[in-house]
Structure 1
């Protein structure tokens, strides 16, 4: 298979006119040559933090606080999940996953509620789709063993030492929410030696120093943080210290659109468009050792092809800024997964 157009190549997303050659699901070459195509070819997205289970309750809980919305065990999300049947949850998750796939997401890193049954439910929802998921089980060691790792709610909610030890022994990723509403759970979260932190809206200088010193990646979800009223993360400061990935968080709060998340992060985060595109692609892939996130030989051919001649994108002078700040689902020409 060959894809022609303007290729956003490598970690710098250098725009190169030419073609991407794919063989058996792998990018084998990028050939520079003149083409007649208006397409923009970039890596498909990695959504580095989702809670897809609450797809059953989109836009529920207007005006509630963060704790009232999502804090375990009795936040609105958890009560609605308990009340819904497995069939309802699987179908709702499947619809969200279909939208994510259609809008260019190759992989999601899912914090999966519901223990072992929750892990099985999202596996059922994924069945037959091309989008992939790194499923981080929650609540129990058994959920971690059934999934691809462990996703902790936060160090203030429980003692996760035993589950962290078991996850480390299984050689699986351990992610944890931290610094979302205040800085007080950041140090305890870092004490668990996590694979990555999620949110980090309120780091103090010593937290930033430690994150840098210990090379702990961070996943930011700025639209979610704005909706829940906790503020927005210091994206530029975090990018100066560590690898930062991008996630859309709870489907009940925001659509799982990486286009919308990139645009928002770019316009509030104070970082270049190239950095935001790395946050939405390779940085998320690196969290879970996925061989995607870049257009370069040897990588899996997880690619997003945009029509550069839509009414929205025609006339764009900077293709990377156009992808990050302007493009949307209507501009998607093809998703190769």
Structure 2
């Protein structure tokens, strides 16, 4: 397979004209030379935090607080999940996965409600689609056994020491929400030595220093934080200290669009476009253990191909900035997943 255009090459996403050669699902060469193509070739996105089961309740719960919306076990989303039939759930989740793929996502990490059965729902929903769904099982240890890791709701909800140890013994990652709408759950979450944290909206300088010292990655979801009125994460401070990935969080509250999440994060902060693109690509890939996130020889071929001559992107002078702040699903002309070319 050959993909031509302006290639955002390497860890700095340097725009170069040329072609990407793909063989057996891997990038075997990047040839820099003049080509007759208006395409922009970027790394495909990794959505580092979703609650995709919420696909059965989009835009429900207007005016409710965060606790009323999502707190287990009786928040609105959990009541709606319990009331939903399995077939309805699978169909709704599958449609959200298709939407993500159309928007350049080839992998995502989902905090999977519903225990082991919830993991099986996700497996069924993604079957046959060119997207890798990483299930962070929750609600019971059986979900860890069949899932890819364990995703804890938060240290204020329960003592997750048993789940943490089980994840460690299984060699699977343990992630946990922390500091979303409070501060008292951050230290207990850190004490669990998680593989990554989600949110950290209300983190203090002391918390941030500890994150840096212990090299704990953080996933931020600024659009969801804005909607639930809990504040906004200190993205720039986090980027200075650790690996920061980008997620879209609850499908109930936001479309799972990485284009929208990147644009919001970019315009909310003073971060350069390559820094934001890294949050949407290689940072999430690292959490999933994928050899992807940048366009380099030898890496997995996970590529996003955009029409640089679309009405939206025609005339763009800075293609990296355009991908981060301007592009959208309508500009996508192709999404490459390794399994499609093995």
TM-score range, shorter chain: over 0.9
Q: 1:137·1:143 contact (CA, 8 Å) conserved in 2?
A: yes
In structure 1, the gaps of 5 or more residues are none
* Cα distance, 1:99 vs structure 2: 0.5
1:107 equivalent in alignment to 2:107: yes
* Cα distance, 1:270 vs structure 2: 2.2
DSSP 3-state at the match of 2:128: coil
Q: Distance in 2 between matches of 1:15 and 1:261?
A: 22
* Cα distance, 1:198 vs structure 2: 0.2
Q: Distance in 1 between matches of 2:261 and 2:104?
A: 13
Q: 1:234·1:269 contact (CA, 8 Å) conserved in 2?
A: no
User: Which residue in the other structure is 1:229 paired with?
Assistant: 229
User: Which residue in the other structure is 1:36 paired with?
Assistant: 36
User: Which residue in the other structure is 2:257 paired with?
Assistant: 257
DSSP 3-state at the match of 1:323: helix
User: Which residue in the other structure is 2:322 paired with?
Assistant: 322
Q: Distance in 1 between matches of 2:102 and 2:261?
A: 16
* Cα distance, 1:183 vs structure 2: 1.6
DSSP 3-state at the match of 1:300: coil
TM-score (norm 2): 0.98
Deviations 1:9-32 (A, max 9, x none): 111000010000000110001000
Q: Distance in 2 between matches of 1:133 and 1:195?
A: 18
Q: 1:235·1:270 contact (CA, 8 Å) conserved in 2?
A: no
Q: Distance in 1 between matches of 2:117 and 2:283?
A: 29
Q: 1:164·1:192 contact (CA, 8 Å) conserved in 2?
A: yes
Give 1:29-178 correspondences, 5 Å limit.
29-178=29-178
* Cα distance, 1:292 vs structure 2: 1.6
User: Which residue in the other structure is 1:274 paired with?
Assistant: 274
Q: 1:305·1:332 contact (CA, 8 Å) conserved in 2?
A: yes
DSSP 3-state at the match of 1:7: strand
Instruction: Give the aligned CA root-mean-square deviation in angstroms.
Output: 0.6
User: Which residue in the other structure is 1:189 paired with?
Assistant: 189
User: Which residue in the other structure is 2:340 paired with?
Assistant: none
Give 1:304-323 correspondences, 5 Å limit.
304-323=304-323
Deviations 1:185-239 (A, max 9, x none): 1110000000000000011111011000000000000000000000110100000
Q: Distance in 2 between matches of 1:144 and 1:291?
A: 23
Q: Distance in 1 between matches of 2:177 and 2:222?
A: 14
User: Which residue in the other structure is 1:245 paired with?
Assistant: 245
User: Which residue in the other structure is 1:20 paired with?
Assistant: 20
* Cα distance, 1:167 vs structure 2: 0.3
- List 4+ stretches of structure 1 deviating above 3 A: none
Deviations 1:148-197 (A, max 9, x none): 00000000000000010000000101000000002211110000000000
User: Which residue in the other structure is 2:207 paired with?
Assistant: 207
In structure 2, the gaps of 5 or more residues are 338-342
